Amino acid sequence: MTDNVWTRWPSREALSRAGVHRARRVLAWVTRAIVLTMLVATTLTNSELGGWAVAGGVAGVAVSGLLAWGFWRTTLEHRLPVSLALLALLLAVAAAGYGAGFRIPSLVLLCGCAVAAIERLPLAAALPASVVALSAYAAFDDDVWLTTAATTAGLALAGYVLRLDAEARASAQRLLTQERAAHAAEAESAALAERARIAREIHDVLAHSLSAQLVHLEAARLLIERGADREIVLERVVAARGMAREGLSETRQALSALRGEMSPLEDFLGELVATADRAGVTVTGERQPLSAEASQAVRRAAQEALTNVRKHAPGAEIHIRLDYGEHEVTLDVRDSGGKPGELSGSGAGYGLLGMRERAELLGGSLDAGPGEEGFVVTLRVPV
């Protein structure tokens, strides 16, 4: 629906004092006080009127002030009939004051009504109201017609300028509110993203650690069921305990990563292959700094790949290659294949799925599938 400029009210922000600088509000109140003082002084010093007439004039000034305050409130609430009624009462007070001999206060009141109507009412109502007020001013004023015409035109222009100024201030106020809301939404989105990253880190650490422990504990259970030698079973339990220690260490590393205190990626991969049999790592390309998210993606992918080798091809030879390219870093984990382990059917493949989702969130990719000999996991993340 098209907004009609003639029937549209000035916005509530424009009609209120919201966004008005304190110095400007003080100046406005000082101006009102000076005008009110001049009106009262003019009324009291009018020697042509008697005491009761002067008292009536002072009462008229007070009534005009109350009507003006009511007009301000009703226009703020966009109540057109009441606002027009109050404006009509103000014009009636001005006419009565002029008839009683209070010429200057009446002219000032008519000027204020004309300016306020243009500033605060819809244009369809403001124009007739201001025409009535300015016509009465022109009829009551005894200056030459050119001066009166210039004054009436200046008052109309002043009212419109005040209206435009109020609308500009209201627009700035709305933009400021929208900007604050956008900043708040951005901060909330960043907080949610950070929470998701923390949850993902904790999940990946626990999934890797518990999965590795499960491999050894399940193997120990199968060995016990088959009546295997005590030393062999104990070896699996000790290995599970070692995995628990590794999980604790990885948890600490994840917390350090969240604090931005990560060890170099090459050192991490070296420590990782040191815990595995027949594993090696090669680093190629010019080393480049990675973001915390990219570095963690590489670390988790390497851990998950090694866990899968232990689970599905125990004893296989593992080679890890980390290549720093110009625009991306590539992690390639290959195993030589081997006889499937007793736990090769355990798990649901959620580890690699999680790694793929992590890579895609960073704008990278993860590919996993059979290679020439065994299984190949390739991760690519932007530098």
Task: Give the span between the Cα atoms of 11 and 130, in whole angstroms.
Answer: 20
Condensed to tens digits (0 to 9), the pLDDT of residues 227-279 reads 888 888 888 888 788 777 767 766 766 666 666 656 788 888 888 888 777 78
Written as tens digits, the pLDDT of the chain (383 aa) is 345 778 888 888 777 776 666 676 666 667 666 766 765 666 556 545 556 666 777 787 788 889 989 998 998 888 999 999 999 999 998 888 888 777 888 888 888 888 889 888 898 999 999 999 888 888 887 777 788 888 888 888 888 888 888 888 888 888 888 888 888 888 888 777 777 767 776 676 676 677 777 887 888 888 888 888 888 888 888 878 877 776 776 676 666 666 665 678 888 888 888 877 778 889 998 888 888 778 888 888 888 888 788 777 777 888 999 999 888 999 999 888 766 544 444 443 446 777 888 888 888 999 888 877 788 999 999 98
Q: How far is CA 273 from CA 63, 75, 299, 317, 378, in A?
A: 91, 77, 12, 11, 17
Condensed to tens digits (0 to 9), the pLDDT of residues 346-375 reads 443 446 777 888 888 888 999 888 877 788
Tokens 């866990």 correspond to what residue? 307
Taking the whole predicted model, whether its pTM rises above 0.75 is answered as: no
Task: Give the span between the Cα atoms of 377 and 363, in whole angstroms.
Answer: 17
How are beta strands 279-285 and 318-324 bridged, if at all? Answer: parallel
Q: Which of 11, 300, 287, 61 is nearest to 163 (CA)?
A: 11
| Cα Dmax for the chain | 127
Structure tokens at 267: 């050192």
